[in-house]
Amino acid sequence: MQLSLVSVVVDDYDEAISFFTSLLGFELIADEPSLKSRDGSPKRWVVVRPPGAATGVLIARADGPEEVAAVGNQTGGRVGFFLEVDDFDATYARMSTAGVRFVGMPRSEPYGRVAVFLDIAGNKWDLLGPA
User: What is the residue-averaged pLDDT of the chain?
Assistant: 95
Same domain, yes or no, for 33 and 88?
no
* 26 alpha carbon, distance to own chain's centre: 9
State the residue range of the domain holding 104.
77-131
Same domain, yes or no, for 22 and 61?
yes
Same domain, yes or no, for 61 and 4?
yes
pLDDT tens-digit profile of 12-51? Answer: 999 999 999 999 999 999 999 987 777 777 889 999 999 9
DSSP 77: T
Same domain, yes or no, for 55 and 9?
yes
Looking at the structure of the chain, the number of domains it has is 2
Mean per-residue pLDDT, 85-103: 97
pLDDT beyond 80 at 104: yes
Residue 31 to residue 61: CA distance in whole angstroms: 12
- Give the domain CATH number at 107: 3.10.180.10
Residue 18 to residue 102: CA distance in whole angstroms: 18
Residue 33 belongs to a domain: yes
* Dihedral sign computed on CA atoms, order 87, 88, 91, 97: negative
Same domain, yes or no, for 1 and 56?
yes
